[in-house]
Structure 1
Amino acid sequence: MDPQRKDYLATEAVYTGDSLRIGDEYVMHEWERPLIRRMVEDLKLTPDDRLLEIGFGMGISASILQEFGPASHTIVEPHPQVLVQAERWKGSRTNIQLHLGYWQQLDPGAQRYSAIFFDPFADDMAAVDDENLRFLKFAAQSLLGDGGRLALFCIRPFLPLEYQRVMFEHYRRVEISSVQVAPRETANPTSDLDGRMISVVLHK
């Protein structure tokens, strides 16, 4: 494993009332909730869905996803302390499976899902776009069944050209809707954009 990732996984996860911080990096904020809810709503989950969620964070998305009662809900989270929080959150729910690790460790083709919620924390910020694009290809080829949907957390209020190329090559439809958030005074890329963000759902 990359030494940088070993350092990240050994760094303490700190939960406050409205954020999750790992080391000096903010991983998630409460202000993201309206965007996450819209992403989940746009995913249009049903009780028949086999759901894969990449990244647990504060459990905001996991809790909203559970409101729709998917048949199964698999969560992949690399940070051991965050996974402990996920275990507590899971409680007695029987439709949830938790896995410690990165999405890159998933076995290609071992399981097909009808819906994916993708919002991992990039412990290597320089590689975030490359990893996101790799996942979009991997999901279309090895994780999603025919007709499956993928909700992508996009930190920009627009889709860069390289994302558009991959999306339209591997997915038959791209759904985008505008979402307004109210970011706090923490480091985030929305402060100069008046809180404008987008919900992105891809259809295979």
Structure 2
Amino acid sequence: MSDLHDLCSFGSRPVTDAYVAQLSYYLKSGIPSTYTVEEAYNYTHDITEEASTNTTPLHLICTNLPEDLTEDEVAVCNHMVQILFEYGAGWSLIDANNETPGCILIRRKMNHLPIYKQIVEAGVRAELLLRKVGEFDMEVIEDTDDLNHDQFGDAVPDLVETEGTPEDVQKKEVANNTSTEKESEAEEQPKAENEVDDAPDAPSQNQESYLSTKLEYVDNALVTKDRKDGVMMAWETDLMRLGCDSLFKGAEIEQGEIDSEVNILNIGFGMGIIDTMINELKPTKHYICEAHPDVLAKLKKDGWYEKPNVVILEGRWQEQLDELLSSGDVYFNGIYYDTFSEHYHDMLDLFDYVVGLLKPHGVFSFFNGLGADRQVIYEVYKELVEIDLANYGLKCTFKSIEVPASTLKENNKSVWDDVKRSYWSCPVYYHPEARFIDI
């Protein structure tokens, strides 16, 4: 390791301001804040191959933080991390153990420290910056290959970067597609022999591909027939109940006064879990927007088209909601969003329709699977949602719920055993509830 890496390993105690001074000296001297242990080894041993793992100074700090830090030492360590970020440290780089710095703190149960908050805030800043640089083009992974990411450090949660030596810094961007709904972060992991790469045209990544892919309803799940991508699963039932309850809160105009006409919109039928709950409460009108032909066939088979208060909107919400908004005939007390193979930029487009179709006392909610295969990414998106909805005049609050234990691998058993790739690995679910901000 280099002297920089030794410093970030906290070989001596106490951790004083001398650590800050030494770190500043190294960075001001030109050593990249993302210079890895592996690259230092290759450089000193005259190895020309690019390092395959990325243990950065920030990883080392998170790995070696003493568990018995004093209050003063916490402040010093926090200052060190602040300086690293000022010099472009990568908050979401993945090391040899497939962990980001935030993941390490979570594993060590040290994510209560202010360092973890800094990491999350760095992720939020990075995403907002990339939007600005990309002129609000949200497909940052696919559409910004020509941007000079060197000047932004680790500028988006979907990037994993590998630095070169201090003399020849090179960055390699690997797309780790952070999901909005039921999709996985595409990580560099060994693949089973029968596993298919998540290429850009895979059903889990591409809406057009998904809509042309055959689906099947199996025990407690809806999956793509050939690949076994999990589209929806029964373990979400309790979370859907939360969503249903939130939607009907929008039926109350003010305390004690219930709206004479209660209209609910759900985007994405899937297994029909939340729609069954909604319909049992007998809203005035229950709109269901669904685009997949196999799911529409399920709706017809199960008699949803014959229900007197149900309106089926066949097609993608982008076209269907545009027609609703243009007609001006219906406004909703509750709107819920739960689709597959769509990304966060799609949700930002949806917000335009939500503010136009939601009644002043209405509630908007959604299945919050934003980056939920990695907890630190999940928390970054939680803050982004609050910021973005506030820009639309909506205040979003979150209720923290423990997810079913079956979603986490225990005793070699999990609800994901027969599914190609899980879309959930977080111990907590942040249930969103958004209302218009009172003026």
TM-score range, shorter chain: 0.7 to 0.9
Would you say 1:133 and 2:367 are equivalent positions?
A: no
Pick one of 414, 422, 425 that aligns with 1:188: 422
- Do the aligned partners of 1:35 and 1:180 also contact (CA within 8 Å) in 2? no
Cα distance in 1 for partners of 2:216, 2:269 equals: 14
Structure 1 residues 32 and 99, CA, compared in 2 at 3 Å: closer, same or farther? same
Q: 2:301 aligns with which of 72, 88, 91?
A: 88
The equivalent residue for 1:55 is 268
Contact 1:167/1:174 (8 A) holds in 2? yes
Task: Name the amino acid aligned to 2:434.
Answer: L
- The normalised TM-score by structure 2 is 0.42
1:38 is matched with which residue?
Answer: 242
**Among candidates 3, 6, 9, match of residue 211 of structure 2:** 9
Q: Which amino acid aligns with 2:318?
A: Q
* Structure with the larger RCO, 1 or 2 (CA within 8 Å, 6+ apart): 1
Count of aligned positions = 195
> What SS class does the counterpart of residue 44 from structure 1 fall into?
helix
Q: 2:386 matched to 1:169?
A: no
Structure 1 unaligned regions, length at least 5: none
Contact 1:133–1:163 (Cα < 8 Å) also in 2: no
CA contact (8 A) 1:77 1:99 kept: yes
Mapped to 2, the partners of 1:199 and 1:48 lie a distance apart of: 26
- Looking at structure 2, the residues matched to 41 and 99 of structure 1 have their Cα atoms a distance apart, in angstroms, of 23
Cα 1:101/1:36, change in 2 over 3 Å: same
CA distance in 1, matches of 2:248, 2:285: 15
Q: Which moved more, 1:24-33 or 1:45-54?
A: 45-54
Equivalent residue letter for 1:165? I
Contact 1:177/1:200, CA 8 A, preserved across alignment: yes
Q: Is the 8 A contact 2:363 2:433 kept in 1?
A: yes
Deviation, structure 1 residue 78: 0.6
Q: 1:107-137 CA deviation, whole Å, 9 max, x = no partner?
A: 2342322211111112x5xxx1111122123
1:75 aligns with 288
In the alignment, is residue 117 of structure 1 matched against residue 351 of structure 2? no
Larger radius of gyration: 2
Percent identical across equivalent pairs?
Answer: 23
Aligned 1:90-105 pairs, distance under 5 A:
90=304, 92-105=306-319
Amino acid at match of 1:96: V
Cα offset for 1:66?
1.3
Gaps of 5+ in 2: 1-200, 252-259, 373-377, 408-414
Q: CA RMSD in A?
A: 2.1
- Amino acid paired to 1:115: G
TM-aligned CA distance change 1:86 to 1:167, over 3 Å: same
Q: CA deviation at 1:91?
A: 6.0
SS of residue paired to 1:188 = coil
Higher share of residues assigned strand: 1
State the Cα distance separating 1:173 from its structure 2 match: 2.8
